Structure 1
Amino acid sequence: MNIFAAFRNTSIYILFSLLPAFCFAQDYPAPHEGDWTAPSFTFHTGETLNNLRLHYVTIGDPTKPAVLILHGTNSTGASMLTPRFAGKLFGPGQPLDATKYFIVLPDGIGIGKSAKPSDGLRARFPQYDYNDLVLSQYRLLTEGLGIKHLRLVLGYSMGGMQTWLWGEQYPDMMDALVPMASQPTEMSARNWMMRRMLVESIQQDPAYDHGNYTVQPPSLRLASTMFAIATSGGTLAYQALAPTRAQADKLVDTMLAAPQTDANDFVYQWASSGDYNAAPGLSRIKAPLLAINSADDERNPPETGTMQASLKQLQHASLLLVPASAETRGHGTLADATTYVQRLGDFMRETAPQ
């Protein structure tokens, strides 16, 4: 069993974080990594950081129309280069054919090879939010890569929430928007409650020591695994995968054994969602929008009706809701593009510039 098969059935939390970049033979152009440094960056708090490093991966010819792809929390741009995501989207004839588009996958502030607390500032690193992440992405594209227009902005989970913000803050910059595994509504209900408990579980651990720990606090591994199980993976999927206690224990053991990130980086990443609320700005979105969610998404349950109400405020918006099954993975479902590759291809044709 290869590494993808070994972990695809646990959680998106493990799926995107364990797979090494470029770990399979892809049929699209080779990815290239780079860095751009913002000489000065002012955060929403008013704090300023000089020489803010922003890392990114690109695929394809920079003279082609650009596609921006945004990763989820505690993930990176390169971690999305998996057989079931990039392998189904970036190849010849596929919806985001990398011979026709210039694909940009940045690492958000606070993660991967971009500037983050664990680089040295630790808990003195500026507090960032999703608006800061979007601003940094905009500056990376326009100042760093010279990109003035985007064929598409597509984001998963945290990246999906940022996609909504992109449409509001830079409404004339893109031809189309695809926010996935997300909603534009205020961070609230179980989604925020679990995130708050996740962060506080680590911060209240005496070993955390206000971010001045010398070894990673034990709460990090336990809290992150609890959060992953509670908010991703799919109810039907877990029942099929772990119908006995022994099988359930094996899944937990696998998740507990997964590599962990730095505690300060982790706390910052999850806390950054606290003030997210794209709902007030929906009327500013001009580009056609295709929202893609899964019916068993634990963080964005469709039965609340909030997504449907939000889409009514947009002129050119539709929703693809992937039905729940034992084969879907709750909030992690859309890491596999199989369920939406055809609709995404249709959407790209529908929104092609005339």
Structure 2
Amino acid sequence: MKKFLFFFSLCTTQIFAQNTLKFASIGQFKTQGSKIIKNCKLGYRTFGQLNAEKSNAILFPTWFGGTSENLIANAGTMIDTTKFYLILVDALGNGISSSPSNTPGFPDITIRDMVNAEYTLITKNFQLNHLYAVMGISMGGMQTFEWITAYPDFVEKAIPIVGTPKQSYYDILLWKTEWNIIEQAGKNPVARKNAMRQVATVHNLNLATPDYYVRTEKAEEAYAKMQKSGEDRVKGNNPENWICQIKAMLSQDIYQTSGKSLSEMPNHIKAKLLVIVATRDAMVNPYTATEFAKALNTNYVELTGDCGHLAPGCETDKVKKAIAAFL
């Protein structure tokens, strides 16, 4: 989510500043709903060098509404590209890769569809048969959970950050409310796009905690900042892409897609895990990720400040240290 950018250090190496967006065609892609995306394409960016053994690749998919360009500052602070070959990938539906905004008749998709498309990219276009790690923030964390259950022998390590293996009741309330706001604007494209102003307010209301906003923002500036946030959302996000990725998140349930219960997961999952949650997250509830980490008795980090879903940015040093040690 784009606001993460303002909370991570923007100091990146020269290689990050010089890198450009690339596109890969993965041909006809069949979704979990048996629909076909013709000429399916994925955007991506790479950093660092793949070693001779092809054993140092890390995949980092985008968060909800985010792009690989948005990820550059985050990846630059988290991953040492002198050691690892980093692949930032634009998830289906984000407006860069195949999406409602650039593909006529684009069907509903799931988080598993995003992951299956990324698997095709990695195996066919990059010709890799193994990933050292998969990691992601928010919806990227959801994709990370899906990766390790969909392709348990393919990934050595996984780092889901403020993601979830299964949507909670509270998460469903939030995502369905944002979806409903757009739908209630009717079919007129202009009205639907303008509805993103109200979506922005609901989204920001859940992005951080009340304590965070009281601590960091002035009440006298609230109306002006709400207006600016709404305008930015209208300009920066296509409502059909927004709904597309909301639908994908609402489908998130690794127990259903894998056919494995929580008690069966320790035997099913092969990857080593570092699960990072924010205990005061009102956008992606931490309960199911916490439950998952405890059931697998795996590496687990709690971010306990008042930043809510923005905690990975507010507690950057803690996150960077945990990731560096884990990798």
Could you state the TM-score of these two structures normalised by the residue count of structure 2?
Answer: 0.87
Residue number in structure 2 paired with 1:55: 43
Structure 1 residue runs of 5 or longer lacking an equivalent are 1-11, 90-95, 349-354
> For residue 204 of structure 1, what is the amino acid of its counterpart?
Q
Match of 1:78 among 69, 72, 90: 69
Shift of 1:306: 3.6
Change (3 A) 1:214 1:340: closer
In 2, Cα distance between the equivalents of 1:162 and 1:188? 16
Contact 1:60/1:103, CA 8 A, preserved across alignment: yes
- Change beyond 3 A, Cα 1:110–1:308: closer
Between Structure 1 and Structure 2, the one with more helix by share is 2
Q: Is the 8 A contact 1:71 1:156 kept in 2?
A: yes
For 1:174, which of 122, 130, 155 is the aligned residue? Answer: 155
How many angstroms apart in 2 are the aligned matches of 1:38 and 1:72? 21
Among 291, 298, 303, the residue aligned to 2:275 = 291
1:93 is aligned to: none
Equivalent in 197, 214, 222 of residue 177 of structure 2: 197
Hey, what does 1:228 align to over in structure 2?
A: 203
Maintained 8 Å contact 1:75/1:112: no
After superposition, the Cα gap between the structure-2 partners of 1:160 and 1:219, relative to the gap in structure 1 and judged at 3 Å, is same
Shift of 1:24: 5.8
Partner of 1:37: 25
Q: What does residue 60 of structure 2 align with?
A: 69
Identity fraction in percent: 22
**Counterpart of 1:67 in 2: which secondary structure?**
strand
- In 2: Cα distance, 1:88 partner to 1:145 partner: 24
Unpaired runs of 5+ residues, structure 2, are none
Q: Report the equivalent of 2:309.
A: 331
Residues 68 and 89 in structure 2, CA contact (< 8 A), matched pair in contact too: yes
Indicate the residue corresponding to 1:107 in structure 2. Answer: 90
Instruction: Return structure 1 stretches of 4+ with deviation > 3 angstroms.
Output: 12-16, 27-30, 214-217, 279-282, 305-308
**Residues 26 and 196 of structure 1: CA distance in aligned 2, closer, same or farther (over 3 Å):** same
Distance of 2:150 and 2:185 partners within structure 1:
38
**How many residues end up aligned between the 2 structures?**
310
Establish whether residue 128 from structure 1 lines up as the match of residue 128 from structure 2: no
Aligned partner of 2:325: which letter? D
Per-residue CA deviations over 1:138-192 (Å, capped at 9, x if unaligned) read: 000100111211111101111101111111111111211100112213x231211
Change (3 A) 1:299 1:279: farther
The equivalent residue for 1:311 is 293
Aligned twin of 1:3? none
Does the CA contact (< 8 Å) of 2:12 and 2:77 recur in 1?
A: no
Q: SS at 2:165's partner residue?
A: coil
Question: Whole-Å Cα distance in 2 between the matches of residues 214 and 254 of structure 1?
Answer: 18
2:318 alignment partner AA:
T
TM, length-normalised to structure 1 = 0.81
Is residue 221–residue 260 contact of structure 1 (8 Å, CA) maintained in 2?
no
Distance 1:130 1:175 in 2: 20
Structure 1 residue 311: Cα displacement? 2.2
Per-residue deviation, 1:243: 4.7
CA shift, 1:28, in A, is 4.8
Q: Give, in angstroms, the shift of residue 102 of structure 1.
A: 0.8
Determine the C-alpha separation between the residues in 2 that align with 1:240 and 1:251: 15
Q: Distance in 1 between matches of 2:2 and 2:202?
A: 9
3-state SS of paired residue (1:179): strand
Compute the RMSD of aligned alpha carbons. 2.3
- In the alignment, residue 107 of structure 2 is paired with which amino acid? P
Match of residue 269, structure 1, among 245, 263, 276: 245
1:87 and 2:63 are equivalent in the alignment: no
Q: CA 1:297–1:260 in structure 2 vs 1: closer, same or farther (change >3 Å)?
A: same
